[in-house]
Structure 1
Amino acid sequence: MLIAFVVVLLDMIGFGMMVPILAFYALRLGAGPELATFCMALYVIGMFFSTPLLGRLSDYYGRKPVLMISMAGSVIGYVILGFADTVWMIALSRLVSGLMAGNVAAAQAYVTDISTPENRAKGMGLIGAALGLGFIIGPLLGSFLAGDSFETANLQLPAMVAAGLSFVALLMVLLVMKESLSAESRTALQQEKRVSQWQAFYQVVQHPVILLLVCGGLTYNVAAGLGESIFPIWTEAVEVAKGPRDLMPMLLTAGIAMVIVQAGLIGPLTRRFGETRLLLSGAVLFTLAMLGMTFAGRMASVVGVMGALAVQSVGAAMILTSMQSLVSQCATPTNRGTVLGVYSSIGTLGRAIGTSATGAVFANLGVQSPYYFSATSTLLLVVLALFVIGRWQSYKLNAEPVSQAI
């Protein structure tokens, strides 16, 4: 599991480095808030189309080749970004990176391959911890390298450093990682009759529990896209930050809270309460956090924003880890990459919707409106979580995983 942790960590550090500065760099090149957040959305739009395919390929040909393709794509995307001097180059770089971004789904499948059902939540928590730690180190490093002014933020240096980190991760996959999916499993699946990508998607969502979890992933990611991508622009608008470096304590608080939950608490919490109850609790916390952001913004309170972000991160950690674990338990070894790929792809669709819409919502409905819409979306997740709780016990008794022939 350690190699998967390090690979995801390095990649997420590079991704996180762009968080404090990317939108403002697009603004500096002439984009408005709507276009700036759409450039950010292109990453997840690319992921929406590529993640199911890459997940399925990882079932047929192994996790390692997919991870290598993904990391090579990250290097190319960051190099394009580093030399971007127009908005369309920023857009192209994010689309390329998104189309090649199958690393997290492949890493999740890798972890489930080498873990037992009893410690699967812990393994998913380890990947989640890599995500959280990446969002501690990445934004801090990106903010530091960018400088102390949004207007003169340096994008090239953070982008090239991110490219270097992705290249290191690529070398680690190539030279150190061993394939986790057995040759027997790959051969057995390759000999089965293949179905189209849309048929595979249809078969996956026929599973009643997975359908609920897929809908939950969609609503959560809409909420996250609404709140996260507008955050740097929002901080300037409500006068809690004047430059990228002012974001460092806020993003640090959020990242630390997520890592504490995913690396240290998620295992004991899962054993004590179960994934379904953690999902419900996380949805409630995330909703409260989004409402808290609006109050902190009105008061221009840095401490209030830090507190809301900490609660948001705790809620997000509980939601993401619980849903990933539940989805993986509904799959078989030979279709796990496909099932996780479908789940992740629908999640990225939600993230694309939220990220694409948030700039227009911010510009036309008021600076606090993205967070009100985000809270509304996670209220729907609360309802879905209640349905999951009702269905899960019945599913466990019947023990019917999604069809193996996909």
Structure 2
Amino acid sequence: MRLPVLFLLITVMIDAMGVGLIMPVMPDLIRDVQGGTLAQAAIWGGVLSTVFAVMQFLCSPGLGNLSDHFGRRPVLLVSLAVLTLDYLVMALAGSIWLLLLGRVVGGITSATQATASACMADLSAPKDKAANFGLVGAAFGLGFVLGPLVGGTLGAFGPRAPFYAAALLAGANFAFGLLVMRETVTDRIRRPFTWARANPLCAFRAVSNLPGVRPLLWVFFVYSVALYVYPAIWAYFTQERFGWSTQVIGLSLALFGVTVALVQGGLIRVFLFRLGDRGTVIFGLVLDAISATLIAVIASGTLALILTPIAALGAVVVPALQGIMSRRAPDDAQGELQGVLTSVNALAMILSPLMMTTSFAAFTAESAPIYLPGAPFLLATVLLLGALALFLRARSSVT
């Protein structure tokens, strides 16, 4: 594997790990700096997560446009350097306001995945883009698995230890990138930076005007809202429905993440070869809808564990969609496109937990018309079928 590609994959993996590393210790860290009860810490934790997602939504198109003008290398390296300092600040934070500032900065610099995806698009032949985006997804999935495991282990040394570890990882990758990363934006594809296109709404408009991309952005958004049912509700649902312990919940999430990494890192090439990009998206949407429906209605925790890796096969959707849209974007707009996709994903990350937790509460409360803890997964099924309908409607523009 070429060293620049390895750097890109490590960057994405560390981005995912950095979030997962700190998740197990955030309740303890918030109480350490703020005091109060676990319930109060949970409220602040929700605020910090929302702020992170909002800043990612607002700033990702701007950083994508910056990478189209100044290049992928400086944007990636500056983001990693700032992220390293951000983790150190959070490790040393003595107030909740410093933690809040840390999440603001973290959300701004979290565009590393978008810029890395744009750089991967630069390095890929058109026919290889979807498969190579799968590698990026696999790296993110691996980081998603490793982060909480390492963070939980380091948490035994105190709630600040994972932040130092995250800073060390980001700093080491910055040094690696400084040595091996070459610039992929040449004068042929370099585009002037304008503040107007850094605005998320203007960036959406610009990307939406690309031939055949607008309906695919809607597919991507609806799909993302549906799939966030897993991180938003899985721990609550499995505890309510099956009585799972935190260890079993963690095992199921790790199983899901490992399967996603295997699918996007290798199996997706088989799907793309057999089904093509369009067929792969349809297969993934149908499988996800079936899996969500089954999870909503089954009463066996064992069956839920068996379904977990099967559901993860639907992870072929995102890289296949990315590949279709990337081929429709000119070379000088790859960063903008990936920035918009990151913003769309962040918007889904803001909206989906509210929808899923509300539906869960409504159908598990004593006053619920029927007891149905799987209601969020049925809602996800409806959204997935909606995404499938949107995609089939756009079939004339998708090859």
TM-score in terms of structure 2 length: 0.84
Q: Is the CA contact 2:88–2:163 (under 8 Å) kept in the aligned structure 1?
A: yes
Deviation at 1:342, TM superposition (A): 1.7
Q: Is the CA contact 1:205–1:211 (under 8 Å) kept in the aligned structure 2?
A: yes
- 1:364, 1:85 → 2: CA distance? 38
Task: Report the AA paired with residue 168 of structure 2.
Answer: G
Change (3 A) 1:339 1:260: same
Partner of residue 177, structure 1: 181
Q: 1:381 aligned to 2:387?
A: yes
Q: Is the CA contact 2:58–2:343 (under 8 Å) kept in the aligned structure 1?
A: yes
- 1:76, 1:231 → 2: CA distance? 33
Partner of residue 336, structure 1: 334
Q: Where does 1:6-405 land on structure 2 (aligned, <5 Å)?
A: 6-19=10-23, 22=26, 29-31=38-40, 36-83=45-92, 91-146=100-155, 155-186=159-190, 189-190=191-192, 196=197, 197=199, 198-238=201-241, 240-243=243-246, 245-295=247-297, 298-299=299-300, 301=301, 303-315=302-314, 317-366=315-364, 367-393=373-399
Deviation at 1:77, TM superposition (A): 4.1
- 1:91, 1:286 → 2: CA distance? 35
* Residues 167-201 of structure 1: CA deviation (Å, up to 9, x unaligned): 22222222321111114432xx23x9885434443
- 1:250, 1:326 → 2: CA distance? 31
Q: Is the CA contact 2:211–2:328 (under 8 Å) kept in the aligned structure 1?
A: no
Deviation at 1:368, TM superposition (A): 3.4
Gaps of 5+ in 2: 32-36, 365-372
Change (3 A) 1:271 1:226: same
- 2:50, 2:383 → 1: CA distance? 18
* Residues 195-237 of structure 1: CA deviation (Å, up to 9, x unaligned): 5434443232123521111111111221233331333344444
Task: Report the AA paired with residue 312 of structure 2.
Answer: S
Task: Report the AA paired with residue 74 of structure 2.
Answer: P
Partner of residue 368, structure 2: none
* Residues 95-123 of structure 1: CA deviation (Å, up to 9, x unaligned): 32112111011111111111111221221
Deviation at 1:130, TM superposition (A): 0.7
Deviation at 1:144, TM superposition (A): 3.4
Partner of residue 397, structure 1: none
Deviation at 1:357, TM superposition (A): 4.0
Percent identity over the alignment? 26
TM-score in terms of structure 1 length: 0.83
Deviation at 1:19, TM superposition (A): 4.9
Change (3 A) 1:362 1:127: same
Change (3 A) 1:102 1:214: same
Q: Is the CA contact 2:83–2:106 (under 8 Å) kept in the aligned structure 1?
A: yes
Task: Report the AA paired with residue 128 of structure 1.
Answer: G
Change (3 A) 1:185 1:129: same
Deviation at 1:362, TM superposition (A): 3.6
Supply the RMSD in Å over aligned alpha carbons.
2.9
- 1:43, 1:257 → 2: CA distance? 27
Partner of residue 34, structure 2: none
- 2:391, 2:292 → 1: CA distance? 18
* Residues 28-77 of structure 1: CA deviation (Å, up to 9, x unaligned): 54338676445323322211111100000000000011112322343344
Partner of residue 367, structure 2: none
Q: Is the CA contact 1:42–1:352 (under 8 Å) kept in the aligned structure 2?
A: no
- 1:23, 1:270 → 2: CA distance? 42
- 1:180, 1:332 → 2: CA distance? 14
